[in-house]
Chain A
Amino acid sequence: MRAAEDRLLLGCLRLAGAAAGSIVLLIVAYLLAEALPALQALGPLRWIRDASWHPAGGAGAGRFNLSPMLIGTAAAATGAVLLATPLSIASALFCRFYAPRRLGGGYRRLVQLLAGLPSVVFGFWGLVVLTPLIGRWQPPGQSLLAGILILTLMILPTISLLAESALAAVPRAYGQAAAAMGLTRWATIRQVMLPAAITGLSSAILLGAARAIGETMAVLMVTGNVVRTPASLLDPVRTLTANIALELGYALELHRSALFVSGLLLMGMVALLVGISEALRPEERHG
């Protein structure tokens, strides 16, 4: 039997824990509740079959094709992950194996700092520095390419930090054994360290992808936000997240509900990626 004081405390703690644990359910519940009118009125297919995205006219006159935004999100995230993956793994390898100890520590701090920089600052920098640069080459500059580059910059630190901890989880003895066999450093990394850390690395990349899909401000500020399926890297695009940020302010009724449907979609994609990534991550929890 616990002390009375402890029973009281435990009661309060359970209450707080339940509150904290139920927020994610609350989020799903509210998204569903708000999305339901549109899902009921429009059915499952109009989201990809409608002629365009002109959601203001209600179920009859409105057009609700989300596919340009879906493609925009997919293209921007894929591009960013493709670019960021080799760079962040190289960055993690540098930190872990190539940098002298002090320098490695300082570099890690820098990457941590980079990971904490606000997306609106990245977006702003992209808007005033990056897009004019691209625009000088191929106007208007606000484009899928700009989105990919800024997203790369944003997810690179995340993936790099996670990749580094995945590499750090590989037992030191593996590397020493390989070195003792006379393997060079690169051979050790390629044949021993990277394969041993592969699940952790995949998990890091998936989390980076989730972050890229969910990112709003930075893409919103540099991609031009035209609702059109992009034909090239230099076309402007609009992502799902940017679409919500741009339209929620004035959206009414079915339009608003449609935005919650896209929110639900986003949540689903991100949850899937995070779920797989969690499943891959090597067990690190207590108990």
Chain B
Amino acid sequence: MSLPLRPQPCLEVRQLSVSYDRRCVIDAVSTVMHRSRITAIVGPSGCGKSTFLSCLNRLSDLTPGCRLSGSIRLDGDDILSARTDLIRLRRRVGAIAQRPNPFPLSIRRNITMPLEHHGLRHRDRREAVLERVLRRVGLWREVRGRLDQPALALSGGQQQRLCLARALALEPEVLLLDEPCSALDPVASGVVEDLIASLRGATTQVIVTHNLAQARRLADDLIVFWTDEGRGTIVEQGPADAVFTSPQSAITAAYLSGSRG
């Protein structure tokens, strides 16, 4: 692990509240995610982790009835402002969904289509990126012979790795991962986990997970969400070691030691 000695803030969240159809599900949370580090978010089901993550790339805009307030700064610019260029934002902040969601296109087009859209005109360069990212996620050997076959014919684990490759192809500065391994078997899950670890130092990663062991293995920083009558709040945050060893409250201590939650 080679981390910069003084972590630099990358995403700064201040007083973020989120509501669905006027029902508040995240209540004024503030936190910081640091550059090139892995921040893990844990917490019981329904406490707003996915919702929180979807605010960081404004994918929340796609949910009808979802309203945000507060501020989220990416390198100092408030991304919640109406003037934010969403295309540019989402190019900088990539995301992986919990359920693999490749496009119903060929394996090749899944990766080259977004590249083409973002202005990579040269076919050869697109092909080069294709091979590089597929190797990166360990899929190249498995699919090199059938790049033009439908991506939906791949297995769940392969699909999820394809989605990772698709996101990596755009070289995002930040990567948001919402339970990326929950639909995968232990082997595929291990591959993805290794990949996330290998991106440490290069990419700022925010990963939601229910797997505390995984959080322990991966996280540099840890954020614990909790829910109070349906309103999600952050109850613990800080360097992962510190939070795991000496949590502030008894509830989180029980949750983190695995006896509750």
Contacts and interface: CB of A to CB of B under 8 A. Distances in A.
A and B touch in their complex, CB below 8 angstroms:
yes
Interface string A248-287: 0000000000000000000000000000000000000001
A2 interface: yes
B64 A1 contact: no
A287 B64 CA distance: 8
Interface residues of A, number: 4
Contacts of A287: 64
Contacts of B84: 1
A1 B83 CA distance: 5
Contacts of A1: 82-86
A180 interface: no
B86 A3 contact: yes
B1 interface: no
Contacts of B83: 1
B87 interface: yes
A3 B64 CA distance: 19
Interface in B57-105: 64, 82-87
Contacts, number: 10
Nearest to A3: B87
B76 to A, nearest CB: 18
Nearest to B61: A2
Interface string A1-45: 111000000000000000000000000000000000000000000
Q: Is the interface of A mostly helix, strand, loop or mixed?
A: loop
* Most chain B CB atoms below 10 A, which of A1, A2, A3, A287: A1
Interface residues of B, number: 7
A287 B82 CA distance: 24
Nearest to A287: B64
A3 B82 CA distance: 12
B64 A2 contact: no
Contacts of B85: 1, 3
A3 B86 CA distance: 7
A138 B85 CA distance: 78
Nearest to B64: A287
A3 B84 CA distance: 10
A3 B85 CA distance: 7
Nearest to A286: B64
A56 B84 CA distance: 68
A1 to B, nearest CB: 6
Interface in A171-203: none
A146 B64 CA distance: 53
A2 B83 CA distance: 9
Contacts of A3: 85-87
A140 to B, nearest CB: 61
Contacts of A2: 86
Nearest to B85: A1
A2 B82 CA distance: 9
B226 to A, nearest CB: 32
A249 B148 CA distance: 61
Given A3-B85, A287-B64, 8 more contacts: A1-B82, A1-B83, A1-B84, A1-B85, A1-B86, A2-B86, A3-B86, A3-B87
Interface of A: 1-3, 287
Top 3 closest A-B pairs, CB basis? A3-B87, A1-B83, A1-B85
10 contacts: A1-B82, A1-B83, A1-B84, A1-B85, A1-B86, A2-B86, A3-B85, A3-B86, A3-B87, A287-B64
